[in-house]
Amino acid sequence: QKEVEQDPGPLSVPEGAIVSLNCTYSNSAFQYFMWYRQYSRKGPELLMYTYSSGNKEDGRFTAQVDKSSKYISLFIRDSQPSDSATYLCAMSPYNNNDMRFGAGTRLTVKP
Amino acid sequence: EADIYQTPRYLVIGTGKKITLECSQTMGHDKMYWYQQDPGMELHLIHYSYGVNSTEKGDLSSESTVSRIRTEHFPLTLESARPSHTSQYLCASSERGTVEKLFFGSGTQLSVL
């Protein structure tokens, strides 16, 4: 069983929709939770990060962590075609050397 | 502009050739990493470095080697390329003490025929 599970999609939504992306994990030692966005033929870029449980909001993006359920989410409000990308969840106990990534969910936002 | 650069972007090469993938960063970061990414699969760490003259293997077994002679430069070398090495290789860096933020290059797509 993988330490981090992420539905690969693909996910296709109309412009303006609310998008929900999710990951589950098995390692209770994870403390840092990240979401990276990766455009085609580019490297991932950090979108959001959260330490431990709770919510974090940045513009149209909200990251949620539920450590009791070992479940993290990324919500995108008022989705735009420019949000079309692959979204990778990542998590780490305390050290980047032990960071684990999900396989990514490919999102397409149609105008 | 502070950034992380990888060259070449694409490389098609024959079996048995020696190759070096270049990675340079201008952010002054101590830590650097090499990840391998295959389509639909998670990123796997193959090498990392805490600083000059420091190199460690990651959790994915790899036949590649790395060196860190200068802070800004972290090249990856394959002595004898094989078709099984076909993959995307991503270089990343981070500041010492920050767990959450990795800065990635655009990657090198390697194809070994």
Q: What are the pLDDT digits (tens) for A55-100?
A: 999 999 999 999 999 999 999 999 999 999 999 999 998 776 788 9
The structure tokens listed for A101 are 């990534």
Mean pLDDT confidence for A11-25: 97
Q: Confidence class of residue A48 from pLDDT cuts 50, 70 and 90?
A: very high
CB atoms within 10 A of CB B59: 11
Mean pLDDT to the nearest integer, A10-24: 97
Q: pLDDT band at residue B97, thresholds of 50, 70 and 90? A: confident
Q: What DSSP assignment string belongs to B5-54? A: EEE-SEEEE-TT--EEEEEEESS--SEEEEEEE-TTS--EEEEEESSTT-
Residue A60 in tokens: 């149209």
Confidence of residue B100 (pLDDT cuts 50, 70, 90): low
Please tell me the predicted confidence (pLDDT) of residue B1. 63
Q: Please answer yes or no on whether A94 and B41 come within 8 Å at the CB atom.
A: no
Chain A residues 43-62 with CB within 8 Å of chain B: 43-46, 49, 51
The pLDDT assigned to B64 comes to: 92
Which positions in chain B touch A102 (Cβ < 8 Å)? 42
Considering only CB atoms, B43 lies closest to which of A2, A46, A101, namely A101
Say which of B48, B58, B104 has its CB closest to residue A44. B104
CA distance A54 to chain B (A): 16
**What is the Cα–Cα distance from B72 to B25, expressed in whole angstroms?**
5
Which one is predicted more confidently, B96 or B54? B54
